[in-house]
Amino acid sequence: MKLKTILTILILVLIVACSPAGGEPTVPDDPVTEPTPMADENPDVDIPTKIIEGEATVESIGIVILESFPVQVHVNATGYLGDGCTTLGEIETSRESNTFTVTIPTERPADALCTQQLVGFDENIALDVLGLPAGIYTVNVNGVTDTFTLDMDNSVQPLPGTDSEPTSELDLPDGDVAELLRLTLERALVAQEIPDYALLADQPEIVLSTENIDPALLPELDGVDLVTMSPEEIQAKADAEGDFPYLRFQGFTAVSQEEVRVSLGNSWAVSADSDMIYLSGGGFTISYGRTADGWDGEITEMWIS
């Protein structure tokens, strides 16, 4: 009996020693956090895809100068992408002094499984050369460089009588302007002296831009169906009917009351959906001098692409 009593006391002591103070069960300070469901367990969870950005490998570049006036300059870049998942990003172009920098970036999903075959690309990029002075310019496309030369300032002299004409003491009377327009158009369209006239000969009508001129001063030419349109109307016609060539007076410089230079160009109206780059077209500059019999002109500059 005494042994049984001793054993009972020992068991009670052990129970008390193993219990927390106060006899209350221990409760964790923080509740257990439920695991975050994976995308395949919960399709509504959007896990962002990491994108690796880089630069395309450019193998060669070529510079194309469209011999309009003002001239247009495009750079053609060819190269390759590293695999089937890499795509071209948005091309960026900037200029500092006489150097154009063109960056062709790439984008690739970091976790994508892709074919390792190289993918080629061929991109045409227009450079903003309007208003640049004559000189030599460098183009750098992802480290590949080339140069081009502007032989003359790439700006346009507006015709007298237009809203954009600067104030000048050499402003010519409307009668002189009308006569100079007539003489220039006759040499271009009747005598067919403008370079690449064949482009215009195939057109049912010849479109002349009203940019830089007053349409009221234009003449009627025998055998020539001349239609005047604003730049906006020309673009709308191209968008609706397709690309077509047109004429535009590109410069009119009154050196004095007795000497005037007029430039007329033949270029293309390109629709918004067109991916063509035209190398055809041309133009000329006629230097006129006033004589006792009127204005007499000589072609002093011609260009063709």
Give the tens place of pLDDT for each residue, 113-163.
Answer: 888 788 899 998 989 998 899 899 999 999 999 999 988 888 655 544 444
Answer yes or no: is 116 within a domain: yes
Residue that terminates a domain, selected from 110, 135, 150: 150
Residue 178 corresponds to which tokens in the numbers above? Answer: 């009308």
Same domain (yes/no): 65, 121: yes
pLDDT at 234 over 80: yes
pLDDT at site 168: 38
Same domain (yes/no): 202, 81: no
Question: Contact, 56 vs 104, CB < 8 A?
Answer: yes
Non-local (6+) Cβ contacts of 40 within 8 A are none
pLDDT at 304 over 80: no
How far is residue 287's CA from residue 230's CA, in Å, rounded to a whole number?
26
How far is residue 139's CA from residue 175's CA, in Å, rounded to a whole number?
46
Answer yes or no: is 296 within a domain: yes
Measuring CA to CA, how many Å separate 261 from each of 59, 158, 250, 290?
44, 12, 11, 12
Same domain (yes/no): 138, 191: no
Question: Angle at CA 121, nearest 5°, toward 280 and 115?
Answer: 160
Over pLDDT 70: what percentage of the chain?
Answer: 76
pLDDT band at residue 77 using 50, 70 and 90 as cut-offs: very high
Q: In what order do the strands lie in the sheet with 119-127?
A: 57-66, 72-81, 119-127
How far is residue 248's CA from residue 253's CA, in Å, rounded to a whole number?
15
Answer yes or no: is 93 within a domain: yes
pLDDT at site 164: 45
Number of structural domains the chain divides into: 2
Answer yes or no: is 162 within a domain: no
pLDDT band at residue 56 using 50, 70 and 90 as cut-offs: very high
Burial 157-189 (b: 16+ CB within 10 A, else e): bbbbbeeeeeeeeeebeeebbbbbbbbbbebbb
Report field, pTM of the whole predicted structure over 0.95: no
Answer yes or no: is 114 within a domain: yes
Question: Contact, 151 vs 113, CB < 8 A?
Answer: no
pLDDT at 43 over 80: no
pLDDT at 166 over 60: no
168: left (phi over 0), alpha (psi -120 to 50) or beta: beta
Range with the largest mean pLDDT of 9-18, 21-30, 239-248: 239-248
Structural domain range at position 122? 51-150
Same domain (yes/no): 255, 193: yes
Residue that terminates a domain, selected from 84, 118, 150: 150
Measuring CA to CA, how many Å separate 39 from each of 34, 49, 112, 253?
15, 12, 16, 70
pLDDT at site 171: 75
pLDDT at site 104: 95
Average pLDDT of span 262-268 = 88
> Other CB atoms closer than 10 Å to residue 61's CB: what's the count?
20
pLDDT band at residue 76 using 50, 70 and 90 as cut-offs: very high
Answer yes or no: is 285 within a domain: yes
